[in-house]
Structures are given as structure tokens and as C-alpha cells.
Homo-oligomer: A and B are copies of this chain.
Amino acid sequence: MHALIVYAHPEPKSFNAALLDVAKNTLADQGHAVDVSDLYGMNFKAVIDRSDFLTVRNPDHFNIPIEQRHATHNSGLAPDIVAELEKLKRADLVIFQFPLWWFGPPAILKGWIDRIFLSGVVYGRSAMFERGRLKGKRAMVSVTTGGPAASFGANALNGDILDILAPLHRGVFAFTGMTVLPPFVAYHVPYAGNAERCVMIDTFRAHLARLDTLQPLPMPRFADHEAVLAPTLTAVAH
């Protein structure tokens, strides 16, 4: 089994870096081959633009999905996209390790998604949810928060952490066909002392040890919405 950890934190001595090490070691101990994309360490380009492509389908109008499909069929993807795509394709398990910034992933991780999840390769037309191109892979978020646990919850100030993570769970993982495992959340990290951090590390290790028994999050099925969406699936792009 192959695992890919996409890691987004700028400080090698951060708690996120410690969680990355835990995941690397625990998964390796389980017999996984582990790839790590250390986005800050790689100086990963976050912004999708013309330089993502060595080819040009339309020089007068930069349409990203069109350029992505054209480049894919004409060996025109930038080398860093090809490299990340290969890691994604061979992964049976994908983990995003990041600090929650403004209720979402750091821009460098959002940019990894924007650039690597290519039209025609990772998604397209009705290749969504249970028909997605990444079906068979499992995916999981491991996230740290600045806010305390008491600020998250259905009736709490910030709302439920699952609602905050829904764009990743539903919009990225499930949308492309991946099975979504429950996230690991380390709360209030900047204010946690060493003892609390050790407990969180142990809890993460236990979470990783029982991945096979975790109940995946419920996600919608395309088939249940196909009748409603059928008229729109034959629309022609302008």
C-alpha cells in the first residue's frame, strides 16, 4: 500500500511537523510506502497560471480546464504537476496535514489541489462521487486549530469542525471518488504545553493505527441525483 502525505506548514519545529513524523513512522511501521509532499519545503508554486502548461491550446483566452485537458494529451503539464500527479495516482491513502487558517487549508495546500486535480484526469462531467476517477483511494484530514475544542461544535462559536472541513471532505475527497475517513483534530495547539501535546501525539498514533476500522463519513451518491442533473450533463461549454 502507498500513502501520500501532503504537508503544509512553514516551520520544521512546529507541532504540524511532529504530526507529520508520527504519520510517516506509523504508516511505515504498518508496511506502507510513504510519499511526503512537503509543500513549503518544496517551495511549491501555489497559483495556477499559464506556466502550469508547456502547451497552449488557446493563446487568446486562458481557460483552465481546456488547457489542462490539452496539456494532458500533449505531454504539456509542468514537471512539478506530473510529479505530484504520479504520487497521487499511486496512493491508496492520502492525508492532508495542515494548520487550520481562516477555516480552511493554507493557500499553498489549496494551490496543490487547484493545480494537481486536473480536468479530464481527476474529474470531468459525471465522473463525480461514486463514479469519481480516484475511487478506491481513502483520504483523511489531520488538522491543528488555534481555537479551543469548546469553540467547535454544532452549537459552539465556530460551528462543527465537520462543517468547516466539508469543502475538503465533500468537495475535494468525495467529489473525486475517494472514501473519506474521519479527521484527526488537534485543538488549541498554540496554547498546549508539552504534556498536552504528548497526549495529542498518542491520540493521533492511535487514530492512524485503527484506520481500517474507522467508519467513513457518509457522502452523497451521484446516482441519487442523476435524474435531476441529466439535462445539464449534455450542456456544451462556450
Interface residues of A (CB under 8 A from B): 10-11, 13-14, 40, 46-50, 60-65, 101-108, 110-111, 113-114, 117, 128-129, 146, 148, 150-151, 156-159, 163-164, 166-168, 170-172, 175, 188, 190-194, 220, 222, 224-225, 228-229, 232, 235-238
Contacts and interface: CB of A to CB of B under 8 A. Distances in A.
Given A151-B229, A235-B188, A47 B108 contact: yes
Nearest to A171: B103
B157 A129 contact: yes
Oligomer: number of copies = 2
Contacts of A64: 10
A171 B157 CA distance: 10
B150 A229 contact: yes
28 contacts: A10-B64, A11-B61, A13-B60, A46-B46, A46-B47, A46-B107, A63-B190, A101-B114, A102-B110, A103-B168, A103-B170, A104-B110, A106-B110, A108-B111, A128-B157, A148-B235, A150-B229, A151-B225, A156-B228, A157-B222, A157-B224, A159-B220, A163-B166, A164-B166, A164-B171, A188-B232, A190-B238, A191-B236
B171 A10 contact: no
A63 B64 CA distance: 35
A208 to B, nearest CB: 24
A171 B104 contact: yes
A107 B107 contact: yes
B103 A107 contact: no
Given A10-B62, A172-B102, A237 B113 contact: no
Contacts of A102: 110, 113-114, 117, 167, 171-172, 175
Contacts of A163: 163, 166
A148 B232 contact: yes
A111 B222 CA distance: 32
- Which one of A46, A47, A113 has the greatest number of beta carbons of chain B within 10 Å? A47
